[in-house]
Structure 1
């Protein structure tokens, strides 16, 4: 395993982050494809044994049960101090007023709920899952600052938004002497590269960690174009992401397959190697529902794509509308 600094911070994280949306009670929330605790625990243990120290979940994943499963597994399989644990806040957790969003009340309530489910006194990274357009950014940022000063989170991060919105948030924190976002969790893979226009250059300039979600495009980059899985057939959010440029996307998927065949490795290793070589990516967030998903992710660290291979993978891409947030 390789370890790198987390943006401009002194925190060290594995170059592979395990995304924990896969782990949760399939009867809670909207992820009917998620793995229950009995099936999840061996994969979390395998990740730790492979040297992965960075785990990303969210309060909303399987209505809180992902946090519960991850928290218990980390307690059983690792020392808490050795783990970099990240979770998120924003999406609805209960009906009625104040059950979602980034108000001071919602943030203070949800950090305590997440800590209880995770079974820990603090999270290493507390992230806003999306922007709350109904709450002043100053209210959100000051609340996050207070969470850090209370010792409930070590760092704060953000997820998918426009680069100008991210810049505004960081400037507002600096202006007021509040804790600043140190990371951006954004949508980036071979089938969706719009983040290369503004967000990635901004993060590189500001030394902000980049931890992309869906680096394998919900698995589309790992299999034949027409092949489906139980998750792809039931993942309603995933169905909204990759329908804009089907012919161009198909050619990219075929290019991944061609290079993987020539190298004698699974396609997932090629797609992951591409994003690992994309500056300024810190650690892609990999979902794993099978042991091979983890071994492929780690093996991808040893693959260095040539300029010709990168050109073959990138050449078919055409511009896309923003996908993954509003």
Structure 2
């Protein structure tokens, strides 16, 4: 395993981060693993040096935190782990049980720690940017959570670059704890964050953790998986001709390399020097091993050209464009 310093913090994390959206309760989604099914995957990741674990209270409506941390508390060493969880999405029908108000954030950190059976989380993350709550209120609440010892650091995820700039400006103005990490979506078929967000994070000293390196399974060329057949977002985000052409390029290089398509797509992400850590939402030990092999794979300039030549700009993927994105047309040759 390789380890890096996360942004300008002193925190060191594994370059592979265990994504856990697929762990929790099948009542939430049909492709979710229960605790018994999740344990072998978690154990395999820990055995291979992963110390970075990504959670969110929204995953399985809290059951994901409980399931994963039941396993971690049983087989792991808390002090060796860097555990992050996220807050923001609705946890019930209660009008105040969503977003980034002080009320919801304070309630949510206590609820998460109770489910996790832990005293603190290493990184407490905003799952998105709440446009309905003053950012000063949100960041003061996050600051107080760190000062209370319930989180060691804070982080952010999936927003516009101007929104991150506003967060940093507020933290600077009021001398609040600043986020150390931005979690964003990046893969061969979705590269819009390379325009502004990634350069801005580099300039401001934030680490970058990447989710969906396989474009929700498209780049693994696994079109018949339970998730791909039942996840509406896969079709919304990656059903256009350009995405399919990029998937074909990934498959072509994988055949020449005699490896899996997933390994090539993951190597493309990990070859980016700006990327601190890549989330791996593995369903099997073999899928995790693919990411581990990708960690040491160097792509040639010709291979990178093939993976990138079909890319066409598209609408950003975030909460604010959900259901409104215009399918992109393939770039004319």
Alignment of 1:105 onto 2:103:
yes
TM-score, normalization by structure 2: 0.94
What count of residue pairs does the alignment treat as equivalent? 320
Q: Secondary structure at the match of 1:237?
A: helix
Deviation at 1:190, TM superposition (A): 0.7
Deviation at 1:52, TM superposition (A): 0.6
What is aligned with 2:86?
Answer: 88
Q: Distance in 2 between matches of 1:254 and 1:129?
A: 32
Q: Distance in 2 between matches of 1:114 and 1:272?
A: 30
Q: Distance in 1 between matches of 2:234 and 2:317?
A: 10
Deviation at 1:237, TM superposition (A): 3.0
Q: Distance in 2 between matches of 1:24 and 1:127?
A: 19
Q: Give the superposed CA RMSD.
A: 1.0
Contact 2:126 2:157 survives alignment (8 Å):
yes
Contact 2:218 2:238 survives alignment (8 Å):
no
Q: Distance in 2 between matches of 1:51 and 1:88?
A: 23
Q: How do residues 183-202 of structure 1 correspond to structure 2 at under 5 angstroms?
A: 183-202=181-200
Q: How do residues 130-169 of structure 1 correspond to structure 2 at under 5 angstroms?
A: 130-169=128-167
Alignment of 1:317 onto 2:315:
no
Q: Deviations over 1:258-314 (max 9, x none)?
A: 111111111111111100112311111110111111111111111001111111101
Aligned structure 1 segments of 4 or more residues deviating by more than 4 angstroms: none
Alignment of 1:228 onto 2:224:
yes
What is aligned with 1:276?
Answer: 270
Alignment counterpart, residue 213 of structure 1, candidates 211, 214, 225? 211
Alignment counterpart, residue 179 of structure 1, candidates 177, 180, 184? 177
Deviation at 1:149, TM superposition (A): 0.4
What is aligned with 1:19?
Answer: 19
Which structure 2 residue ranges, 5 or more long, are not aligned? 321-333
Q: How do residues 46-125 of structure 1 correspond to structure 2 at under 5 angstroms?
A: 46-125=44-123
What is aligned with 1:247?
Answer: 241
Deviation at 1:97, TM superposition (A): 2.4
